[in-house]
Amino acid sequence: MKQMIALLAVLFLAHAGFAQDVFMCRNTGLSFFSATPVEDIDATTDKGTSAMNVKTGELYFKVAVNTFKFKKQLMEEHFNENYLESEKYPYAIFKGKLVSPPDLHKDGTYEVTVDGILSLHGVDKPYKEKATIIVKDGKPSANARFNVKLADHHIKIPTLVIKNIAEVVEVTVKAAYSAAS
């Protein structure tokens, strides 16, 4: 994991040229929520890793799928074994860029659009979503909420439980960044 973070930082630094432009978050929070008439399903993790280059607007997120925690152990097992197949597809990865990036060297709240590719369950799909970046004391934090249609990533829900799991899942991402070292 440390090697991946170091490599990511080097890549961003080489592209940007300045360390103060690259920020990392090693405890990115991610959650998802699925609402159906039968039951709600939600899971969270704070094990995501993210990098942001405030000069170029490049973003990177990576999370081990098996780090999501559920209220019910059985849901967690089904999620990892049957739906996301976390042994076969261990990571969810997003690589993207801010569309028309604002000057994130200045403190403020910025509504932005992020354009990129989400790799989930072995399927790459383009996403263009809204996010909020808040810069305070020179450090950015990012928040986003978007929907993922399970079928778009070839995640199959067995007919037996189709009423228990929504076809579209709401994903929330929260990251508080520090300067890459």
Q: Where do the structural domains in the chain lie, given as residue ranges?
A: 21-179
Q: pTM of the predicted model, to two decimals?
A: 0.86
Q: What's the rounded Cα separation, in Å, for the pair 59 and 37? A: 36
Low-confidence residues in the chain, pLDDT < 70: 1-19, 162
Burial of 158 (0-12, 13-18, 19+ CB in 10 A): exposed
The highest-level CATH class for domain 21-179 is mainly beta
| pLDDT for position 17 | 47
Burial of 108 (0-12, 13-18, 19+ CB in 10 A): exposed
| pLDDT for position 2 | 52
Number of residues in the chain: 181
Q: Is 15 helix (H, G, I), strand (E, B) or coil?
A: helix
Q: What's the rounded Cα separation, in Å, for the pair 173 and 122? A: 20
Q: Which residues contact 92 (CB under 8 A, 6 or more apart)?
A: 61, 62, 63, 65, 118, 119, 120
pLDDT digits (tens, 9 = 90+) for 5-36: 544 554 544 454 445 899 999 999 999 998 88
pLDDT digits (tens, 9 = 90+) for 79-95: 999 889 999 999 999 99
